[in-house]
Structure 1
C-alpha cells in the first residue's frame, strides 16, 4: 500500500472529533480508577467496522468506543456507537474529504506542516 491512512488525523476526524475527545477522557478515568483499585483492571476498546457505500470511493465507518472501569465495590461500563463517512483515495488512504477537493474550511490540524531544511 503506497498511501497509508494518517492514523492521528483519522481518529481526530471520526465523529467530528468527538471520539478523540471522549477517548481522552475515558483513558484518564480508566487510569485513575486502575490506580485507585490496584487489584482490578480497567478495559477500554475501540471497534471499527468498515463497509462500502454505493459504487463510489466512500466507506462507512461504524466506530464503537466501550469501557469497563473498576470501582471499590463493582464496575462502571458503557459503550457509544456512531458512524462517519470517509473517502478512499489512491492506495487505500482514508480521509474525510477526497484528496482532489480543496479544503474550504481550513482546519489548522489538516494543514501540512512544513519542516525546516
Structure 2
C-alpha cells in the first residue's frame, strides 16, 4: 500500500509540473508503467490472466460506453494526463506486440506487483 501511495504522489507531482510547463507539446509521447490504476487493457491480451476488466460496467462513462480493459468506469489517470498535455491515450503494449511505439505506449497491467509474492497473494485469494 505504501508503494502505491508513493507512485500516486509521484504521478500527481508530474501532472502538476506538466500543467505549468509551457513546452508540453514538445513531448513526443507518454510511456506508462504501473498497475490497475493506469492499465488501459493490457490484461485483455493475456490469455491466462485472471485480472481482466472487460465487464460492461467498467466502460459505462468512457467514450463509446463499452469496456476497454480499464479498471474504472471511464478514463483513468494516464488518460487524463495525456489529455492534459495534448497527446492521445497511450495504447496497450500487448495490442500490437511487434509495433514500434515512438508516440507512447502503456505497459501497465492490473494485478502487477514489484515483489515475487504478488502472484502468490493473488492465487491465494482465489482459492
TM bucket (normalised to shorter chain) is under 0.3
| TM-score (normalizing by structure 2) | 0.21
Q: Which has the higher helix share?
A: 2
Question: Counting strand residues as a fraction of each chain, which structure ranks higher?
Answer: 1
Task: Report which structure shows greater RCO (CA 8 Å, sep ≥6).
Answer: 2
User: Based on CA coordinates, which of the two structures has the bigger radius of gyration?
Assistant: 1
TM-score, normalised via structure 1 length: 0.22
